[in-house]
């Protein structure tokens, strides 16, 4: 509905647009949707008790306003088992439906480093009861993210270490070349399920080594060729 032609007005203040900064600039990337790929590294699928064979990818979503860029992760309520999942973030500048594999990378604006923070106890309960994952995945501040770096600067990384240190100790490590579903495949597949648009981001899945965090922990995540993300649990 066009407000100007109808004279309609918002009855409450419209929510702010979620954004990610673009590294080294004053630019802001506006976030429309946050898609997450499940079990996209074989070693992580195995540690979660699943078969690492290549099955069709599956997705869940977080809310755009779950993104935090302040460097702080407030420990959420209703959980005593909150896990870190370090992931490469893919940010789209264009989209569409049924995007062919060979055109998928044309949709990518850039990349970042993100944490798919997870209330593992609530996610586990949801899995057991066949319920949706939102309470485990899509809570406040559940998506700490680094600034984005444009693909026009760094290209499209397909290889390079992905790791996470907690208080200086290596907890997670993997390599982008171990992604079961590569970036073009996740974009192409997702576009068969949803209409992708500029502003959508995809958290690409986490390597093995997920585990709990405590208040006071210092998390340092890294993706080779993309950047770093430092977060304190408060």
Q: Return the DSSP state at 141.
A: T
Q: How far is the CB of 63 from Mn ion (least distance, A)?
A: 15
Whole-number Å distance between alpha carbons of 108 and 232:
29
Q: How far is the CB of 51 from Mn ion (least distance, A)?
A: 18
Alpha helix stretches (DSSP H) within 99-227 = 101-104, 120-129, 134-137, 151-154, 183-190
Please give the size of the binding site for Mn ion, defined by CB under 5 A. Answer: 3
The answer to whether 41 touches 208, Cβ cutoff 8 Å, is yes
> Which of 223, 219, 171, 227 lies closest to 23, judged by CA?
227
Residue 142 makes contact with Mn ion by CB under 5 A: no
Smaller CB separation from Mn ion, 22 or 35: 35
Which residue of the chain is nearest Mn ion when measured via CB? 116
Q: How far is the CB of 158 from Mn ion (least distance, A)?
A: 19
Residue 188 makes contact with Mn ion by CB under 5 A: no
Whole-number Å distance between alpha carbons of 77 and 65:
17
Smaller CB separation from Mn ion, 116 or 200: 116
| 76, 169, 149, 35 alpha-carbon torsion, rounded to 10° | -40
Please report, as residue ranges, which positions from 75 to 104 form the binding site for Mn ion (by CB under 5 A): 85
Which range, of 7-15, 46-54, 152-160, 205-213, touches Mn ion by CB under 5 A?
205-213
The answer to whether 29 touches 148, Cβ cutoff 8 Å, is yes
Which range, of 72-80, 114-122, 158-166, 223-231, touches Mn ion by CB under 5 A?
114-122
Smaller CB separation from Mn ion, 22 or 200: 200
Residue 206 makes contact with Mn ion by CB under 5 A: yes
The residues binding Mn ion (CB under 5 A) are 85, 116, 206
């Amino acid at each position: 509905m066009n407000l100007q032609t109808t004279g309609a007005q918002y009855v409450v203040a419209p929510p702010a647009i979620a954004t990610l900064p673009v590294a080294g600039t004053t630019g802001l990337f506006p976030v429309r949707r946050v898609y997450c790929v499940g079990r996209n590294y074989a070693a992580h699928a195995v540690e979660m008790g699943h078969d690492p064979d290549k099955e069709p990818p599956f997705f869940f979503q977080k809310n755009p306003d779950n993104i935090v860029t302040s460097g702080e992760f407030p420990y959420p309520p209703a959980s005593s088992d909150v896990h870190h999942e370090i992931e490469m973030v893919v940010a789209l500048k264009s989209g569409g439906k049924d995007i062919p594999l060979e055109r998928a990378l044309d949709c990518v604006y850039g990349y970042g480093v993100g944490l798919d923070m997870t209330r593992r106890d609530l996610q586990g309960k949801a899995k057991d009861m066949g319920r949706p994952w939102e309470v485990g995945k899509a809570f406040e501040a559940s998506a700490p993210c680094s600034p984005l770096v444009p693909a026009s600067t760094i290209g499209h990384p397909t290889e390079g270490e992905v790791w996470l240190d907690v208080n200086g100790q290596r907890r997670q490590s993997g390599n982008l070349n171990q992604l079961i579903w590569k970036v073009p495949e996740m974009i192409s597949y997702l576009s068969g399920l949803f209409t992708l648009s500029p502003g959508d981001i995809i958290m690409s899945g986490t390597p093995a080594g997920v585990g709990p965090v405590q208040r006071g922990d210092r998390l340092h995540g890294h993706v080779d060729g993309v950047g770093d993300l430092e977060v304190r649990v408060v």
